[in-house]
Structure 1
């Protein structure tokens, strides 16, 4: 713990907004144990992950200790933080730990309270709130990972409905308080069925609540973590993308940008790859620059992060090139106090690209299509409907690239970062990139606007290159089953198509629809799904997301 509290966060919101930050994720705020751990190297429980009471806030972060009973009042510093964020159009992400409470300390192990009342004690577990199988020994054994202890932490027994009701009731209180999203710790240590139940209940509290979990070092070629991402009802932090970027840009791995594209080539394994949360450093690993990355490499990594598919997450201080390399930059030196607040090249780039992400739908919804990939340089296109973003990155020596088949509008385009102009003719261009050079070219299309906009996603359609996918239905906006007026979707990756359907006449009504595949070969007939018509109630106004799978 290096200092700071929630009032300090409020005081720095102007700074954060100055370079486009739109949401804040803090480590857990719950009241936690206060005594030191026992053993040869005692540790202090300041980080927030050793909760003692999920229905109270840690008074350390508040202006007055009486504010810890957060849900009996609406005048705490946390209320002020939420209100101030929302007034500014910003969001708050609450970090949640459902897997465990606390390790052995001088005051016991795993003592859990319900708004001040003791409900569970690992050493006197009469109601079986905890597992008692000892430490995890074999990390390849899924049963041990889900039932045994992680680093001596008292592990909750998710089979006990008393625990499940308690944790869901507790988190629901925070959501009703105004929390906008959840980051959920150590998700692989609890079974999939628990998360399905948990997320279903959180959806009832707030159907628009975004949730993403930490499955440490998940990969798209790991069936277990992919199954979680596809079936748990939440997204994941994209550790495979993170690892590839660190190897490419911080450590200078000879695989270079090809390492990153190898990860993205497997996006079709996911049902929602564009919702994975991307990052390249966090509080559990040495910072990017502690691995050897220069300021220029950080600048390059930030452009990659903010233009790639996924939801980008920045670790505080990256905009100031913050790092402390003591002991290799590992815990606690990866979490130093931020002491500089002036504009930098990093914060300039973040601000430019954060603004672009808000107005360019290619960066929000589009797929990521490689146009040039080798170890030293990377060119990719983001595209959605009539919106585009074309990115050139170079980590090596100055070089000239001749790139064709860009699928980007012809004409003269100006880079958002450098101001350099680039001429594209017949879908091709020649550019010279300096060392650590970047070019970001954009073209913004019109946003879909209507009384109600349905964001519809379908996975598993048996399309081939050149095929199109569309929605037909019984309402005016979907053509009344006339294929000539079907609403076409955009391909995101090999497994996902996406579109935004504007609804006026059908807002607030029940509509029926199906998907239809339109082959590239004009002599081939359309191919409709072989299933009964889907029926959905359209919300009266606003936006909603529907997720479907193609059915034969």
Structure 2
């Protein structure tokens, strides 16, 4: 078995070298004091509600909570204390993880929303109401700072998801729907979607994704779309992100960057970099084989990196589906090296919360292990989705966000990550 593993790792390295993908090498700058260069880091993405329930006292009451997580659109109990527990017991450090990316920590709506007969909650963290308060289901500010302290003690950086594109689901014609997209400033009501005297929101209907402009100035689905060119909204978000920077975060993952004004985001990054610079990367979704020059322009000019969907989709095609080959992989690596001015700062991955998990039920584990090895030894900043090391499966939302049920350190994937992650610091 050991001989086979050594052969496999050698083969991966040879393949990478053959296609111009040298194993990641950089100075050892992984320490938490370095909040900007993540080249030697390995990120572990966590859907906070789905990792571990560390404090049952903060679980939502009543119909919003599914104790066994059989209803995956409801809260399942995961919280910051649970993440802290897995840091302190060595599960993450044993795997070689040096950064965690957690769900948006801000206060979300508590209303249940019924879509197609299924009750939905804000367990994912993307239905915000107050960007200056915490999601009580995840914990208090004390719980959050305890998590930061515990992570830093183990030399793990903390990245928060941040979604300033919108508040929560709303209806232009029905003020009673959900919480009407209401926005609060540290507990003080500011506006709602249907009653919006300050024009904090766009009121242009839903986007059809036909153009970039259409996606920026119209709602994503039924999410109340904020007007970032409004001076009050701009000031609010600078103050909000300052709140989290002051708590000691080490990075920000910006949601839906394709759907916010580019100029506003560049200005926001200038504010962050002028106040407390941290590693920042945005989400700009690309479908398989999609190449978007606007995506490259944003990565090169906005002041933040991006989740590298070109990398992810091609790795999935080659190692998961078999719908492309090593020539296609080489083409992607070569092309992105010229498309992205700072290609080593783009965040690479093989799956996440918005796509089907890489592992398919009943499939050979080797495909996943090969994809992990390639990603960990390649350029960029690798992000591993929680549970990948346990071969979790799930074809889409919410099944790709199931509760973590095993923390085995004996799986081949866990051991592979633990062996390869330290090489990024070599």
The superposition leaves residues 475-514 of structure 1 with CA deviations (integer Å, 9 ceiling, x where unpaired) of: xxxxxxxxxxxxxxxxxxxxxxxxxxxxxxxxxxxxxxxx
Matched, 1:205 2:289: no
Partner of 1:78: 144
1:222-261 to 2 correspondences below 5 Å: 222-253=292-323, 255-261=324-330
Partner of 1:119: 190
1:103-252 to 2 correspondences below 5 Å: 103-104=169-170, 106-137=177-208, 139-207=209-277, 209-217=278-286, 221-252=291-322
Query: Whole-Å Cα distance in 1 between the matches of residues 352 and 115 of structure 2?
Result: 27
Query: Whole-Å Cα distance in 2 between the matches of residues 252 and 120 of structure 1?
Result: 50
Partner of 1:27: 103
Query: Whole-Å Cα distance in 1 between the matches of residues 180 and 331 of structure 2?
Result: 44
Query: Whole-Å Cα distance in 2 between the matches of residues 39 and 28 of structure 1?
Result: 22
Matched, 1:357 2:403: no
1:251/1:291 contact within 8 Å kept: no
1:158/1:164 contact within 8 Å kept: yes
Give 1:252 shift: 1.5
Partner of 1:515: none
Partner of 2:404: 338
Give 1:36 shift: 1.8
Give 1:257 shift: 2.0
1:523-534 to 2 correspondences below 5 Å: none
Give 1:256 shift: 1.6
Partner of 1:274: 344
1:399-548 to 2 correspondences below 5 Å: none
Give 1:344 shift: 1.3
TM-score by length of 2: 0.77
Query: Whole-Å Cα distance in 2 between the matches of residues 291 and 152 of structure 1?
Result: 33
Give 1:39 shift: 5.1
Give 1:337 shift: 1.2
Point out the structure with max Rg over C-alpha.
Answer: 1
Query: Whole-Å Cα distance in 1 between the matches of residues 270 and 79 of structure 2?
Result: 32
Partner of 2:381: 311
Query: Whole-Å Cα distance in 1 between the matches of residues 279 and 398 of structure 2?
Result: 29
Partner of 2:80: 6
1:48 maps to which of 121, 125, 146: 125
1:2/1:336 contact within 8 Å kept: no
Give 1:141 shift: 1.6
The superposition leaves residues 82-118 of structure 1 with CA deviations (integer Å, 9 ceiling, x where unpaired) of: 0111111110001000111100374432101111100
Give 1:43 shift: 2.2
Specify every segment of 5 or more residues in structure 2 that has no aligned partner in the other structure, as ranges.
1-74, 171-175
2:334 maps to which of 257, 265, 273: 265
The structure with higher relative contact order (CA 8 Å, sep 6+) is: 2
Match of 1:166, SS?
helix
Matched, 1:60 2:131: no
1:220/1:269 contact within 8 Å kept: no
1:23/1:91 contact within 8 Å kept: yes
Structure 1 residues 344 and 292: CA distance shift in structure 2, 3 A = closer
Query: Whole-Å Cα distance in 1 between the matches of residues 311 and 163 of structure 2?
Result: 23
2:307/2:347 contact within 8 Å kept: yes
Partner of 1:295: 365
Partner of 1:527: none
Match of 2:399, SS?
coil
Give 1:221 shift: 3.7
Matched, 1:98 2:164: yes
Number of residue-to-residue matches in the alignment:
341
2:291/2:310 contact within 8 Å kept: no
Question: Is the helix fraction higher in 1 or 2?
Answer: 2
Query: Whole-Å Cα distance in 2 between the matches of residues 225 and 148 of structure 1?
Result: 19
| Moved segments of 4+, more than 2 Å | 37-43, 104-108, 218-221, 290-294
The superposition leaves residues 449-473 of structure 1 with CA deviations (integer Å, 9 ceiling, x where unpaired) of: xxxxxxxxxxxxxxxxxxxxxxxxx
Query: Whole-Å Cα distance in 2 between the matches of residues 9 and 101 of structure 1?
Result: 26
Query: Whole-Å Cα distance in 1 between the matches of residues 276 and 91 of structure 2?
Result: 30
Partner of 2:63: none
Match of 1:265, SS?
helix
2:77/2:137 contact within 8 Å kept: no
2:286/2:310 contact within 8 Å kept: yes
Question: Is the strand fraction higher in 1 or 2?
Answer: 1
Query: Whole-Å Cα distance in 2 between the matches of residues 110 and 346 of structure 1?
Result: 41
RMSD: 1.6
The superposition leaves residues 305-336 of structure 1 with CA deviations (integer Å, 9 ceiling, x where unpaired) of: 10010000000111111114xxxx21111011
Query: Whole-Å Cα distance in 2 between the matches of residues 220 and 35 of structure 1?
Result: 37
Match of 2:369, SS?
helix
Query: Whole-Å Cα distance in 2 between the matches of residues 39 and 78 of structure 1?
Result: 31
Specify every segment of 5 or more residues in structure 1 that has no aligned partner in the other structure, as ranges.
71-75, 360-552
Partner of 2:13: none
